[in-house]
Structure 1
């Protein structure tokens, strides 16, 4: 799989440029791993960002920028950064424009589209930034518990680098 990646510019409350864009990341990284979260309240999302932070060096060794994207306003997303002190960008996507551009799964039809809390599911997207940014791998969750492990994420990067 390799499809053109959509650039975005979103408020970043974590380390890195603010606003954050894929084009800004491409200057210093070979890959970007975009972790689309469900919402501010999601305990599984909060656990995922902390687990990835605990192994961030493995992503850095692979020249991969991790970016967590939360479909909430910056004020709410700042609470995550204050609590977890993440070593990677944490961006606010209050209108879910990036989530929509990357087809973040939404369930429950109209009701899910009306409320991110009910419908938005997590997604992980790996973007190869080396030439023209392209999506080379993604994981579309079917529930809030369905997420790739850190080892699965690192394997996806290794596979993409070898391709």
Structure 2
């Protein structure tokens, strides 16, 4: 099933960095930015995390919470957050159930080799729990600002 704007966002409860539990149901009434990224501490993923981190105050003013999601472990997320001073939650989906529910665990290809991985995608969820917007195959430069503008525009 492919997700689309207007659909109910799939619910999830995942372990997060710092020992927290991240539960979409507990965030009802807030705007949620889920950004899916392939791997902690790689160049593109680090830049994307730093860009979202730099906009944390602005996202808070828009009443939106940013959550990064990857298949890395909580331990990996803890190191990634500490190394780069990240202040937003990072969810660990080692089982990949939530990544599959959002359609971002896909077959990828590099140098002719096929493998399964995360397609860099961002999903903006409205206060009512429905998907407001999806950015597939994200290019990192300017992306956090574009998502922020969409979050601000969402009632």
Matches within 5 A, 1:150-161: 150-161=144-155
CA contact under 8 A between 1:105 and 1:123: conserved in structure 2?
no
- Which residue of the partner structure matches residue 135 of structure 1? 131
Gaps of 5+ in 2: none
CA contact under 8 A between 2:81 and 2:87: conserved in structure 1?
no
Q: Which digits, 9 at most, give the CA deviation of each residue in 1:71-99, with x for residues without a partner?
A: 11112111111212322111111122221
Matches within 5 A, 1:107-118: 107-108=107-108, 111-113=114-116, 116=117
- Which residue of the partner structure matches residue 5 of structure 1? 9
Matches within 5 A, 1:113-128: 113=116, 116=117, 120-128=118-126
Change over 3 Å in CA distance of 1:31–1:76 after alignment to 2: same
Which structure is richer in relative contact order (CA contacts within 8 A, separation 6 or more)?
Answer: 2
Distance 1:43 1:102 in 2: 24
- Which residue of the partner structure matches residue 85 of structure 1? 85
Structure with the largest fraction of helix: 1
Gaps of 5+ in 1: none
- CA-CA distance at 1:106 after TM superposition: 2.3
- Which residue of the partner structure matches residue 149 of structure 1? 143
Q: TM-score, with normalisation over the residues of structure 1?
A: 0.80
CA contact under 8 A between 2:96 and 2:105: conserved in structure 1?
no
| SS of structure 2 residue aligned to 1:108 | strand
- CA-CA distance at 1:41 after TM superposition: 4.4
Q: How many aligned residue pairs are there? A: 147
Distance 2:78 2:45 in 1: 15
